[in-house]
Amino acid sequence: MGALRDRRRPVRLGPAPVEAHGQAHRAGGRRRGVRLVTGFVEALEAARATRDTFLQLTPARAERDAERARTIRGPLAAIPFAVKDVFDVAGTRTSGASRLLDYRSQATADAEAVRRITAAGGVCVGKTTLSELAYSGLGVNDRFGTPTIRRGGREYVVGGSSSGAAAAVRAGIVSVALASDTSGSARIPAAWAEVYGFRPSIGRYPGAGMLPLSPTLDTVGIIAADAATLIDVDAVLAREPRRREERPSAKFAVPHDDYLDGCDPAVLAEFHATIDDLRDRGISLEQRRFSALDIARGLHATGMPIVEEEAFAAYGPYLDRHPARLTAAVRRRLERARLRGREHSATPLRNAMSALRARFAEELRDDILLSPTTEIDVPTLHDVRTSAEREDELNSRALRLTMTLSYLDSPSVVLPLSSRARSHTVAPNLQLSARSGRDRRVLVEGARLATYDSRTREEESA
């Protein structure tokens, strides 16, 4: 097992054929068993020497899992997976990518989500890095390393907080990674790394053994190389087997322009171009106003954010006792929470959530909402590090759209879906959201759009 390492050099990830990688695992993982996984363990060992994606590797665990997977049938049998280091994995210490948690002992049992994937034949190869304590949407960690993606000679952040999980999938090390999502921690890095991500309805997956940030909004999340793998992992985690009769049938809705008025021009241009392309391909879309979205966003902007209040309750006491164990960015956020908490409370927003979720369900019905994942285009690492004020501004804007949907308990899928031109943003993507409890529906519709997009592009390139 690899030990935790305190590193500041960013990993640089190039383009990776992630969908083909996921499909190869789905087709071949069951046949090759230990030989396949041993190859991936060797790849991870090499990656650890040069990159900051993984905090800990578990080669011995991988060999045991692979041997057990020989007798298991199913779509996850012998498929390597990574685990964000907020989940307990037996024999490892859950660090949250923070020196604040150095006191923690090694876990004696797997988190329940890890256990379910392993029981289905998954092979755990290691634990991935993240924003410290999962408390940022940018994926920057100045103590344990910041994964970046090199595009056109520039280094772009992966997004967070599940930065290492998305980086591992993008790089082709694994075809699926277990993440968490409170404010957007699975969706944002999936979008910026151009892979697939999913936040389920609260309570759909077991959270036992997961490090908390905001108990009110925390969920287990998934990042994968393709939409079909998201569905396979969802079936295992939710203990809800896939049904052959599942067919996409939803109508799609687009929010009113006012809801997206905070988006960068490039993000809006790419979103509108993608919507136009979908209409050209015969997909029916209707623009509608959703008052629940507007109210939730307004309450978040004017009051005490729930995540801020609950994160301070968990980690604020350490500000005075062990400030040096926290990075400057997290100290800054906790200090801000302390000051804001003297005048504001998240109670009004918390009390309003039940009614807001009911209103959103009534307004959206069984339709699927399409939106950008983030208001901003993917920032460069240089831009993030321009100043503390700039980092905080980018973080706040990165989280705004995903956070609003978290308040509404909306299961959401992120796809690397772009317009035909693909000329507006660094990492084109699309977020599909449903009302609470319609998880399988939004996953199936996500797979529908992903498949339709792939077929259309194949026809255009033929």
Distance CA 353, CA 336 (A): 24
Distance CA 132, CA 337 (A): 16
Sign of torsion over alpha carbons 57, 220, 378, 145? negative
Diameter of the chain measured on Cα atoms? 63
The DSSP 8-state label assigned to residue 183 in this structure reads S
| Active-site entry in 180, 185, 412, 433 | 185
| Active-site entry in 98, 161, 371, 419 | 161
Active site residue 84: yes
Q: Can you tell me which residue has the tokens 């660090």?
A: 95
Distance CA 211, CA 399 (A): 20
Sign of torsion over alpha carbons 174, 180, 181, 183? negative
Alpha-carbon distance values, 146 to 323, 356, 368 (Å): 21, 36, 34
What is the separation, in whole angstroms, between the first and last Cα of the chain?
47
Dihedral, CA atoms, 373, 378, 383, 389, nearest 10 degrees? Answer: 0
Structure tokens at 296: 């939730």
Which run of H or of E encompasses 371?
A: strand 368-371
Helix, strand, coil abundance in the chain, percent, nearest 5:
45, 15, 40
Distance CA 125, CA 61 (A): 7
The answer to whether 214 and 306 have CB atoms below 8 angstroms apart is: yes
Q: Facing residues of 371 across strands?
A: 431
DSSP strand pairing (196-199 vs 219-224): antiparallel
Q: Facing residues of 196 across strands?
A: 224
Which run of H or of E encompasses 125?
A: strand 123-128
Structure tokens at 62: 């991988």
Structure tokens at 329: 């960015």
Dihedral, CA atoms, 304, 306, 307, 309, nearest 10 degrees? Answer: 60
The answer to whether 341 and 296 have CB atoms below 8 angstroms apart is: no
Length of the chain: 462
Sign of torsion over alpha carbons 17, 163, 234, 418? negative
The answer to whether 231 and 198 have CB atoms below 8 angstroms apart is: no
Structure tokens at 196: 């697939």
Active site residue 161: yes
| Active-site entry in 84, 162, 163, 180 | 84
Which residues are marked as active site? 84, 161, 185
